[in-house]
């Protein structure tokens, strides 16, 4: 009685292109290279140079302690800011403050910190961090300028190539995005992010076999790569490869057992495979992980109806409709449950309301036709079956009902 809704996932993985890693240059630390005022103080007096060297060493130790903590806390930020009191031009401290602020969602503060880092050291990773935040803000021209600056000095910088490809993908210039990722892969054939982004581009260009191959390659290169397992499973499901899809999504669930979207997708697949108990279990986990996701609750109701547990389905849908009485899909599925329970008046009311909200709901038209047929309203039933077949020619049950009706 209709497919389960799983939503449209976001395909681009950009985190690695935005933040990069914490910077700790202290293993090869020489204070006069990291703290520019040290050079000036060296000229003035050996005693002053010793004092500044001591300050820079202390600053580097504080940065190292912040990197070791690495939890985005106020204490971590305090390490870096204290380091800057001793050595104000230590670029790594500015950069790491940017990462901490990014983790907290303070993109404006993070951008200022990254820009401060670039003032004191023109490091390509710092520019890539700036570009990533500008991209998040929708500042595509500014982001491209940062990537271009990196590539002007190093045309083979994989991170900049991938970042620039994301900019072109955002502009829907998929051919240019693909060209840039190809270049990155010619330099680093095993780069996981490049492989993943290539898979995404292939999928957007409807080159599905190539996309599947790239997703699979990423899972071979990095078996813990959640997004590749997840989108591999979703694409396999779209291609009708339900058994493979369940296996891929199962791998994703092992990596992130708390992920609501994985359990929701597993519920969709298992329903397709006829494993209603497994589908129910997966969807209950999805609801527990994200109680506000109404689509998981509606999918759960669909599975319960298939298990002949219509009363439980009505209870689940009642919770959805309490929050949103105008949820067309919830009303449509409720009408189906009421139809199966023999509550024809309530079913007709629910289905008609669903169609008022969404006239293109082929499943609601079909189920209303079944209701009319069961209650002896043959002409109205025929009209609803025709509407269902017209709205969704791929809805096989509507086509079958039309044929059955025609032979009577």
Domain boundaries, the chain: 24-122, 327-408
pLDDT at 13: 36
| pLDDT (mean) for 283-304 | 97
Evaluate if residue 284 carries a pLDDT over 90. yes
| pLDDT (mean) for 61-65 | 94
Could you tell me the fold of the domain covering 327-408?
Answer: 1.25.40
Mean pLDDT is lowest, of 46-50, 70-74, 128-132, 229-233, for 46-50
Mean pLDDT is lowest, of 167-171, 187-191, 356-360, 400-404, for 400-404
pLDDT at 400: 80
The better pLDDT of the pair 287, 393 is held by 287
Evaluate if residue 295 carries a pLDDT over 60. yes
362 confidence band (pLDDT: 50, 70, 90): very high
Evaluate if residue 140 carries a pLDDT over 80. yes
Evaluate if residue 9 carries a pLDDT over 50. no
pLDDT at 146: 97
61 confidence band (pLDDT: 50, 70, 90): very high
| pLDDT (mean) for 262-282 | 97
392 confidence band (pLDDT: 50, 70, 90): confident
The better pLDDT of the pair 398, 203 is held by 203
CATH classification (class only), 24-122? mainly alpha
25 confidence band (pLDDT: 50, 70, 90): very low
34 confidence band (pLDDT: 50, 70, 90): very low
pLDDT tens column, 173-185: 999 999 999 999 9
Question: What is the overall mean pLDDT for the chain?
Answer: 87
pLDDT at 110: 96
53 confidence band (pLDDT: 50, 70, 90): low
| pLDDT (mean) for 152-167 | 96
| pLDDT (mean) for 296-310 | 97
Encode the chain in three state secondary structure: CCCCCCCCCCCCCCHHHHCCCCCCCHHHCCHHHHCCHHHHHHHHCHHHHHHHHHHHHHHHHHHHHHHHHCCCCHHHHHHHHHHHHHCCCCHHHHHHHHHHHHHCCCHHHHHHHHHHHHHHCCCHHHHHHHHHHHHHCCCHHHHHHHHHHHHHHCCCCHHHHHHHHHHHHHCCCHHHHHHHHHHHHHHCCCCHHHHHHHHHHHHHCCCHHHHHHHHHHHHHHCCCCHHHHHHHHHHHHHCCCHHHHHHHHHHHHHHCCCCHHHHHHHHHHHHHHCCHHHHHHHHHHHHHHCCCCHHHHHHHHHHHHHCCCHHHHHHHHHHHHHHCCCCHHHHHHHHHHHHHCCCHHHHHHHHHHHHHHCCCCHHHHHHHHHHHHHCCCHHHHHHHHHHHHHHCCCCHHHHHHHHHHHHC
Domain 24-122 identical in fold to domain 327-408: yes
406 confidence band (pLDDT: 50, 70, 90): low
Percent of the chain with pLDDT over 70: 86
pLDDT tens column, 215-265: 999 999 999 999 999 999 999 999 999 999 999 999 999 999 999 999 999
396 confidence band (pLDDT: 50, 70, 90): confident
pLDDT at 21: 59
| pLDDT (mean) for 25-30 | 34
19 confidence band (pLDDT: 50, 70, 90): very low
The better pLDDT of the pair 10, 312 is held by 312
């Amino acid at each position: 009685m209709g497919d389960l809704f799983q939503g449209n996932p976001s395909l681009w993985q950009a985190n690695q292109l935005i933040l990069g890693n914490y910077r700790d240059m202290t293993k090869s630390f020489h204070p006069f290279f990291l703290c520019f005022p040290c050079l000036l103080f060296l000229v003035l007096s050996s005693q002053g140079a010793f004092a500044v060297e001591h300050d820079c060493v202390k600053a580097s130790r504080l940065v190292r302690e912040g990197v070791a903590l690495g939890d985005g806390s106020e204490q971590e930020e305090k390490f870096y800011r204290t380091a800057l009191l001793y050595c104000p031009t230590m670029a790594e401290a500015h950069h790491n403050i940017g990462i901490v602020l990014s983790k907290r969602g303070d993109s404006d503060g993070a951008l200022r910190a990254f820009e401060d880092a670039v003032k004191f050291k023109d490091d390509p990773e710092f520019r890539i961090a700036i570009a990533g935040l500008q991209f998040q803000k929708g500042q595509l021209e500014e982001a491209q300028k940062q990537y271009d600056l990196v590539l002007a000095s190093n045309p083979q910088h994989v991170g900049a190539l991938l970042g620039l490809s994301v900019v072109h993908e955002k502009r829907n210039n998929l051919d240019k995005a693909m060209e840039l990722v190809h270049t990155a892969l010619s330099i680093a054939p095993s780069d996981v992010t490049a492989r993943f982004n290539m898979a995404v581009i292939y999928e957007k260009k409807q080159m599905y076999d190539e996309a599947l191959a790239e997703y699979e390659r990423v899972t071979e290169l990095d078996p813990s790569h959640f997004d590749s397992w997840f989108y591999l499973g979703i694409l396999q499901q779209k291609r009708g490869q339900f058994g493979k899809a369940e296996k891929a999504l199962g791998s994703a669930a092992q990596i992130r057992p708390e992920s609501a979207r994985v359990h929701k997708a597993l519920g969709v697949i298992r329903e397709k495979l006829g494993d209603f108990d497994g589908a129910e279990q997966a969807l209950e986990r999805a609801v527990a992980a994200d109680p506000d996701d109404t689509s998981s609750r509606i999918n759960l109701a669909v599975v319960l109806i298939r298990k002949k547990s219509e009363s439980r389905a009505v209870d689940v849908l009642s919770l959805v409709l309490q929050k949103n009485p105008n949820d067309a899909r919830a009303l449509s599925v409720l009408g189906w449950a009421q139809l199966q329970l023999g509550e024809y008046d309530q079913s007709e009311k629910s289905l008609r309301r669903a169609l008022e909200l969404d006239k293109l709901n082929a499943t609601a038209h079909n189920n209303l036709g079944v209701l009319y047929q069961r209650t002896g309203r043959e002409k109205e039933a025929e009209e609803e079956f025709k509407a269902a077949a017209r709205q969704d020619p791929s809805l096989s049950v509507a086509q079958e009902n039309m044929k059955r009706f025609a032979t009577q």
